[in-house]
Structure 1
């Protein structure tokens, strides 16, 4: 059984689409289809149900995928462990985050402190973060909401207030704070379900017994402040963005709710082998966010 075919199967199973898997793997579709067919012939059972060009993982495929995920994860961990045994504190750390703004300053400082360690970034929402950790696609996730899974471990990096941002010429500009019930009557800009700002907003509005007037839903939380600054509505933005000053000018108000905040955590998989480079990153992140540089 060819190891490469197992990796091909893993990607095809994730996409359940030959052409999208081929694009990710940078192989021709016919070659990928033949590789999957050879794997099924070796096993003696079909792994996918096929209807025309559509494929769907069947029961045998789901069972096999669980084993393949485990085997390939162990091999990847073994490779990292052998590199560490050679005494090399180099390599690459893979990190997923909801938005790159959260990590920009910290990663710049990390590169200066550890020039021999590279960092590969992925933008992900909470559901895909759990999958990436399980498949060892990333070493860490930087999450602003709890990730579900008993095999996950986390380190709280920081807690920060979440503010309401409004256009600079808004009638609330200059006010110190605003009630959730008032916010519900304004055009509201928010990420799609799954993003931490949406989870926070839904909780605040539900508890207040009001429904927001959503005028824009997006997949890029980092763009919210620019949309608000353009006058399209109001929205919840972490206070980190206020300090960074990298987006459009807005006015800031406190939200009259005790728990209008986010907890930023570094999350990893309990059973994954953390390379020396990954451990260096974890230690650096804990020290960085605890220090004055993150304030």
Structure 2
């Protein structure tokens, strides 16, 4: 019975409520409630704090959820492993990525070889992607910075320069390049903390004693591009991700090499997953082929 109770607890925790969990498991809410309550009573512990119809995990619940997440993932990995010996005929791969550009090419290449595998992608900055790997929300991360963590294995796949981008009314627009010192006191529209591009350029400017004037902090590339296009400030991007636009231009920095590295990351305990290893092998080969066959200039790159 304990297995059923743990499965019920895990579903309620994962889907943030008894109603959503009952639909996923296709069992009644009273059944779920009874099983979770039995688990709590057996061990004399409160796993959920209940406020009306809402539930949230207690400290004990959070720790148990980490364990049940690994149990659930281990079960999925076992099924994927067995299925892989007859070819990948089913399964799901969840990806956390800092942006759609490299991720799209990787996924297309992977799906072309494994059409029956469902692939889900969630975007966010490097910090959020890393958190999703640790919490098992993502199987693989396509990220621009990896904190030192013994639980995670990383594979570098590319490195790119950070460039400035401006709108057509900006004095930099017709320049072939600029000095990093010309960024002094420039109004800047920047990403939220956790963005690797932001960290890379700001660390270099701090090292050189260059001050900028942040005017907005936005949580998406699209919002920053739109704001820069409206002339509110300048932005920073990795060169390969710049999308050519009539009113925007990417300008290289000629006297500073500010770079961001890009990595595939996954939990070391899952390195033997055939699904993960298959994706990473295909992904690295895909990026290598793209960079070799289509080198990108400062203003023709895709960001």
Q: TM-score, normalised by structure 2?
A: 0.79
Among residues 3, 7, 10, which one is paired with 1:4 in the alignment? 7
Is the 8 Å Cα contact of residues 188 and 212 (structure 1) preserved in structure 2? yes
Residues 39, 218 of structure 1: alpha-carbon distance in 2 compared, 3 angstrom cutoff: farther
The aligned residue for residue 301 of structure 2 is none
Q: CA deviation at 1:164?
A: 0.3
The aligned residue for residue 279 of structure 1 is 277
Q: CA deviation at 1:159?
A: 0.8
Deviation string 1:15-41 (CA, Å, 9 cap, x unpaired) is xxx56x866886799767666434323
The aligned residue for residue 98 of structure 1 is 98
Q: Give the secondary-structure state (helix, strand or coil) at the position aligned to 1:166.
A: strand
Is the 8 Å Cα contact of residues 8 and 36 (structure 2) preserved in structure 1? yes
1:199-214 to 2 correspondences below 5 Å? 199-214=199-214
Q: CA deviation at 1:234?
A: 0.6
C-alpha distance in structure 1 between counterparts of 2:253 and 2:98, whole Å: 22
Deviation string 1:126-153 (CA, Å, 9 cap, x unpaired) is 3332332234332210001123421111
Is the 8 Å Cα contact of residues 163 and 237 (structure 1) preserved in structure 2? yes
Is the 8 Å Cα contact of residues 161 and 258 (structure 2) preserved in structure 1? yes
The aligned residue for residue 147 of structure 2 is 147
C-alpha distance in structure 1 between counterparts of 2:152 and 2:112, whole Å: 29
C-alpha distance in structure 1 between counterparts of 2:53 and 2:92, whole Å: 37
The aligned residue for residue 15 of structure 1 is none
Unaligned runs of 5+ in 1: 13-17
Q: CA deviation at 1:217?
A: 1.4
The aligned residue for residue 189 of structure 1 is 189
Deviation string 1:137-182 (CA, Å, 9 cap, x unpaired) is 3221000112342111111111111110011221112223333343
Aligned length: 287
The aligned residue for residue 258 of structure 1 is 256
Unaligned runs of 5+ in 2: 296-303
Q: CA deviation at 1:238?
A: 1.2
Q: Give the secondary-structure state (helix, strand or coil) at the position aligned to 1:194.
A: coil
Q: Does 1:157 align with 2:165?
A: no
1:16-31 to 2 correspondences below 5 Å? 18=16
Residues 74, 117 of structure 1: alpha-carbon distance in 2 compared, 3 angstrom cutoff: closer
Deviation string 1:80-119 (CA, Å, 9 cap, x unpaired) is 2222244445533221101223322343344344434442
